[in-house]
Amino acid sequence: MRSFSYSRPSTFAEACHDSEHTRFLAGGTNLIDLMKSDVERPRHVVDIGSLPMRHIEDRPDGGLRLGALVTNADTAAHPLVTDRYPLLASAILAGASPQIRNMATNGGNLNQRTRCHYFYDPAMACNKRSPGTGCSARGGRNRIMAVLGTSDACIATFPSDMCIALAALNATINLHGPNGERVVGMRDYHCLPGDTPWRDNILQPGEIVTAIDLPPAPFGPHHTYLKVRDRLSFAFAIVSVAVGLRMKDGQIERGSIALGGMGTKPWCVPQAEALLEGQSPSHSLFRDVAGRLLHGAVADRDNAAKIRLAPRVIERALWQAASGTPQSQTDKTIR
């Protein structure tokens, strides 16, 4: 590991250094690995563990605020989350291992880097790690790579489970930086690779995530987080779907859907969600929604199976949500 300076500030003003060579340390489950692999080379590491961001609390509008330093494990187990946002708790429990969830923070989960194996190998060309060097994933071993939102410069898959649920819940992200505070919608927080694949999100130098706000949840039991992966534990999604439906008299008043494992960011298509409004659940409707969600998907050498599998996963998730039978985290069989 390369040498670096270290500080542990107690105020936001001290923490928010406007420098591209500074990295923020919370749980360390991603940054430390990247530093050990010589992918991240910060000159200064700011440990934000002393900042006041470890609370989960009610919001005046009936929503919930999740502090950025609350661990994933504590978030998933919190009574206000399990009672009002079980979709989020389910997504968190589907990710990583208990040991990692005990350390990983909500803010860190938002900002984690891709798990593309070419990104983690400094010997391989990667535009996300070293701009202008190329994308070794294209034409390489890319079974797990993205098929939505890709560009000529990058096909790395977005890795988080928690963020897929946050996108379906239409969460908002609170930021603090050298220029003050601002709020960004979850669906606008992460960036498509385009010609700048090294830019994962809209954070400016020196900005940190302070909290995540969840709006009042209208879904009741009509939600699910369905994740298909190579093994039951400690594996990233091949395809995952977060769904929430507002139902009345057997009809769908409003639907919210986000895909994971398929895109370069949490994948949401408002036009697909609009197809659900005022409709009764049906196979034809859910097929149309799946088709709209996957419109524009492009496969590379090894990942075409994702495009064939995803419609079945999306349809099953929609049926589970419509029938009020959320996915069990011990049942991952797709028939």
Is 129 within a domain?
A: no
Domain enclosing residue 307, as ranges: 223-323
Q: Tens of pLDDT along 181-195?
A: 999 999 999 999 999
Is 185 within a domain?
A: no
Q: Tell me the C-alpha distance between 127 and 196, whole Å.
A: 8
Is 88 within a domain?
A: no
pLDDT at 234: 79
Q: Tens of pLDDT along 303-333?
A: 999 999 999 999 999 999 999 999 875 444 4
Scanning 123-248, the segments in alpha helix (DSSP H) are 162-168, 186-189
Is 97 within a domain?
A: no
Is 208 within a domain?
A: no
Q: Tens of pLDDT along 75-131?
A: 999 999 999 999 999 999 999 999 999 999 999 999 999 999 999 999 999 999 999
Whole-number mean pLDDT of the chain? 95
Residues 6+ apart with CB under 8 A from 99: none
Is 36 within a domain?
A: yes
Assign residue 12 the CATH number of its domain: 3.30.43.10
Residue 37 has pLDDT above 60, yes or no: yes
Read off the pTM. 0.96
Type and span of the H or E element at 74:
helix 72-77
pLDDT at 17: 78
Residue 221: beta bridge partners? none
pLDDT at 329: 59
CA 86, distance to chain mean position in Å, is 16
Q: What is the residue whose two structure tokens read 């489970």? A: 161
Is 96 within a domain?
A: no
Q: Tell me the C-alpha distance between 308 and 296, whole Å.
A: 14
Closest by CA position to 119, among listed 34, 229, 2, 24: 34
When pLDDT is averaged across residues 249-269 and rounded to a whole number, the result is 98
Assign residue 244 the CATH number of its domain: 3.30.390.50
CA-to-CA separations, 47 to 23, 26, 125, 204, in angstroms, rounded: 9, 6, 30, 18
Give the pairing of strands 239-248 and 251-260. Answer: antiparallel
User: Looking at residue 145, what DSSP letter applies?
Assistant: S
Classify 242 as helix, strand or coil.
Answer: strand
Closest by CA position to 185, among listed 169, 198, 207, 196: 169
* Counted domains in the chain: 2
Q: Is residue 57 within 8 Å of 23, Cβ to Cβ?
A: no
Is 22 within a domain?
A: yes
Residues 6+ apart with CB under 8 A from 308: none
Please, what's the largest Cα pairwise distance for the chain?
Answer: 62
